[in-house]
Amino acid sequence: MDSINNGKKSVHVNERKSHLLYGLSKMKVTHTADGRNIENCSLYTLEYTYIQEKIKRGGIVEWQPTPEKEGRH
């Protein structure tokens, strides 16, 4: 049973990596910020690179804390 679940996880990981690689290639990104080829990166690194590129291009707004309003405690 574990081998079946591991196989399904592997399929999902590969699908997600393909999706991220496609998105990064559309943004003309071929390497990570530290110079690694995106084709050889882990899912984690691809996710991080994708998010950073989206932020850089204005597609995702970085979280900022809401300023405290006066008189509010």
Cα dihedral angle (44, 50, 56, 58), rounded to 10 degrees? -130
Q: Does residue 16 fall inside a structural domain?
A: no
Phi, psi of 37 (to 5 degrees): -70, 130
Number of domains in the chain: 1
Q: Does residue 22 fall inside a structural domain?
A: no
Under a CB-based contact definition with an 8 Å cutoff, are residues 46 and 26 in contact?
A: no
Q: At what angle do helices 43-56 and 2-26 cross, to 10 degrees?
A: 30
Q: Does residue 15 fall inside a structural domain?
A: no
Domain that holds residue 53: 30-58
Q: Is the pTM of this model over 0.95?
A: no
pLDDT tens column, 14-73: 999 999 999 999 999 999 999 999 999 999 999 999 999 998 888 776 677 777 766 655
Q: Does residue 52 fall inside a structural domain?
A: yes
Give, rounded to a whole angstrom, the gap between the first and last alpha carbons of the chain: 53
